[in-house]
């Protein structure tokens, strides 16, 4: 296990990543003290894993805004401040600004809620004030027990959606109830990124490197489901033109960097190997050829490679894992010490991981809200800078984190 000692110069860099007067940031060794699952693996560069602990010493208050929800999965704000909430069994709710929770929104298609499936990620049309459109990802049943991730959109009216269109379906459809992905992120140019898992089973896993399907990929589509002309593989024979990047395992966290407009994602590894990536146009992120961590059996993944020419290294990885779900970048409003940080929800780790970022690299890690003891499924930042969390329970909650005077 590698330990990273913090020098005075390094501390200065960390302070530049969000430290403010009256809110100190202290640096120590790594938060993670357990040995990695995969013995003998070494990071490709210093700081790629087990970054130094930072403490922002921020005083906050956690408020329960909604409760009794059945495994809330996705959160998305409407322009008027109302909050969309997806429940995995297939219900969409709206939390009004006065705290009233709506009945399930009518008009959504049926979902396949077996295993990890159901109603998943949400997005609001950047031109919502004109179009009224909302978007959602979900597991859709196929023929003979197969299924796949799909994306639909519809016009939100009152407490229903109308003119529902399915604008994307993952291919091929296979018989698995795992690893759907399902986060939706609008780019600045109005195109839509969709994260897609590799369905866990071997039939799907091997397709993360294939170009004739969209399993284990990030895809980029126009808002109506058509293919952007500048996608990296448009016009190439035998390649799905929706593909943006390949070699992904199961992406349950994705967001745009507010400074650069680039897409970041955090994906699940197996036993170890959760990784933070900047998902760039046309690149290969390695799964299952290269990865950190190991199989749940304790055996190597494939040939046990952590690097190979032509395959991207993660910006950061965790071994043991945090089980990431949800990602948001904080602009510092209300929480100046978190400015520029990436906030990542944790399922089995039951926390939010704050990564202090500098020039696209991780320079520090902090664990937040551990007192909740709940699985965190999504993290978003509200218009006023408050941090909103969805807890993954049969009686799940939506929580709001605000500064405490």
Look at residue 2 and tell me if it is in a domain: no
The CATH number for 360's domain is 2.120.10.30
pLDDT of residue 42: 96
Does the annotation count 179 as an active-site position? yes
- CA 344 from centre of chain: 8
pLDDT top residue among 355 and 8 = 355
Q: pLDDT tens digit string along 197-242?
A: 999 999 999 999 999 999 999 999 999 999 999 999 999 999 999 9
pLDDT of residue 286: 98
Candidate list 148, 179, 240, 268, residue with the active-site label: 179
Question: CA 218, CA 245: separation in Å to the nearest integer?
Answer: 5
Assigned token pair, 371: 């007192």
Q: pLDDT tens digit string along 177-200?
A: 999 999 999 999 999 999 999 999
C-alpha pair distances (Å), 205 with each of 65, 109, 210, 256, 384: 39, 28, 10, 26, 41
Omega of the bond leading into 288 within 30 degrees of 0 (cis): yes
Look at residue 72 and tell me if it is in a domain: yes
Residue 405 pLDDT class (50, 70, 90 cuts):
confident
Q: How many domains, the chain? A: 1
Question: CA 191, CA 179: separation in Å to the nearest integer?
Answer: 24
pLDDT at 4 over 70: no
- pTM, two decimal places: 0.93
Average pLDDT over residues 150-165: 96
Q: pLDDT tens digit string along 279-326?
A: 999 999 999 999 999 999 999 999 999 999 999 999 999 999 999 999
Q: Which domain holds residue 289?
A: 8-403
Residue 1 pLDDT class (50, 70, 90 cuts):
very low
- Give the dihedral sign, CA 403/332/136/277: negative
pLDDT at 126 over 50: yes
Look at residue 3 and tell me if it is in a domain: no
Look at residue 49 and tell me if it is in a domain: yes
Look at residue 1 and tell me if it is in a domain: no
């Amino acid at each position: 296990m590698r330990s990273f000692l913090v020098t005075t110069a390094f501390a200065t860099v960390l302070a530049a990543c969000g430290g403010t007067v009256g809110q100190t940031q202290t640096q120590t060794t790594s938060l993670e003290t357990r040995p990695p699952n995969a013995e003998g693996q070494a990071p490709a560069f210093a700081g790629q894993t087990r970054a130094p602990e930072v403490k922002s010493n921020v005083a906050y208050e956690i408020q329960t805004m909604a409760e009794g929800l059945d495994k809330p999965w996705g959160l998305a704000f409407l322009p008027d401040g109302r909050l969309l909430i997806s429940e995995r069994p297939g219900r969409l709710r709206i939390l009004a600004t006065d705290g009233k929770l709506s009945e399930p929104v009518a008009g959504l298609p049926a979902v396949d809620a077996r295993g990890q499936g159901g109603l998943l990620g949400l997005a609001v049309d950047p031109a919502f004030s004109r179009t009224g459109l909302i978007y959602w990802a979900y597991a859709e049943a196929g023929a003979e027990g197969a299924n796949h991730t799909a994306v639909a959109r519809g016009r939100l009216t009152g407490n229903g959606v109308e003119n529902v269109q399915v604008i994307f379906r993952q291919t091929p459809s296979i018989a698995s109830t795992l690893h759907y992905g399902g986060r939706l992120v609008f780019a600045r140019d109005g195109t839509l990124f969709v994260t897609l898992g590799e369905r866990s089973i071997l039939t799907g896993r091997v397709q993360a490197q294939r170009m004739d399907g969209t399993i284990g990929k990030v895809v980029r589509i126009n808002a109506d489901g058509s293919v952007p002309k500048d996608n990296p593989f448009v016009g190439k024979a035998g390649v799905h033109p929706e593909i943006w990047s390949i070699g992904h395992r199961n992406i349950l966290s994705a967001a745009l960097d507010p400074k650069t407009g680039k897409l970041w994602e955090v994906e699940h590894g197996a036993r170890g190997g959760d990784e933070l990536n900047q998902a760039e146009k046309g690149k290969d992120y390695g799964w299952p050829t290269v990865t950190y961590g190991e199989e749940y059996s304790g055996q190597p993944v494939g040939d046990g490679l952590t690097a190979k020419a032509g395959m991207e290294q993660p910006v950061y990885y965790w071994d043991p894992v945090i089980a990431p779900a949800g990602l948001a970048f904080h602009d510092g409003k209300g929480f100046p010490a978190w400015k520029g940080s990436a906030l990542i929800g944790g399922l089995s780790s039951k926390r939010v991981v704050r990564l202090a970022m500098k020039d696209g690299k991780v320079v520090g890690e902090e664990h937040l809200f551990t007192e909740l003891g709940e699985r965190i499924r999504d993290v978003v930042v509200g218009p006023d800078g408050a941090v909103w969390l969805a807890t993954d329970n049969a009686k799940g909650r939506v929580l709001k984190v605000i500064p405490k005077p």
